[in-house]
Every structure is written in structure tokens, then in C-alpha cells.
């Protein structure tokens, strides 16, 4: 696990969150919650991919789902 990369991702996520802080006061509460949730979800996914780089990508699931249909189309 590369701790430097995790710290870097954390710093970038915190910088994005703090950079938008002065502009968020004019947004509605739901928009502020959605922004925070998206930033934290992005941070979580980035850390997860840094911790486990061999995780399958979403395309693998699409291949599993549509592989049987490919046989019928040929």
C-alpha cells in the first residue's frame, strides 16, 4: 500500500472541499450535502483503488452480464 499516494489523494480531496467552502453558503442545504457526499465517495473510491489495485473494473461486470447475449447475436 502506497501511503504517500493515499495522503496525496486525501490532501487533494480536502483542498477541493475547502476551495468550494466560501461558495457553498449560497447553495441550498441539499446541494451542500450532495457535494460533500460526492467528494467523500470519490475519496473513498480513490483510496480503495490505491489499497487494492487488482480490483476488477466495472467493465468486467458488464462482460459477465452481456456475454450470454453475445452468443445469441452471432
**Mean model confidence pLDDT for the chain:** 86
37-69 pLDDT, tens digit per residue, is 999 999 999 999 898 888 888 888 788 888 888
The residue ranges of every structural domain in the chain are: 3-73
pLDDT of residue 26: 78
Coil, helix or strand for 67?
Answer: helix
For residues 11-18, average pLDDT? 92
User: What pLDDT is attached to residue 1?
Assistant: 65
- CA 48 → CA 8, 10, 39, distances in Å? 14, 12, 14
Amino acid at each position: 500500500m502506497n501511503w504517500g499516494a493515499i495522503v496525496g489523494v486525501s490532501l487533494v480531496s480536502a483542498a477541493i472541499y475547502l476551495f468550494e467552502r466560501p461558495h457553498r453558503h449560497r447553495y441550498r442545504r441539499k446541494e451542500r450535502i450532495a457535494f460533500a457526499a460526492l467528494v467523500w465517495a470519490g475519496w473513498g473510491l480513490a483510496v480503495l483503488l490505491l489499497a487494492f489495485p487488482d480490483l476488477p473494473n466495472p467493465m468486467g461486470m458488464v462482460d459477465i452480464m452481456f456475454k450470454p447475449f453475445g452468443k445469441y447475436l452471432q
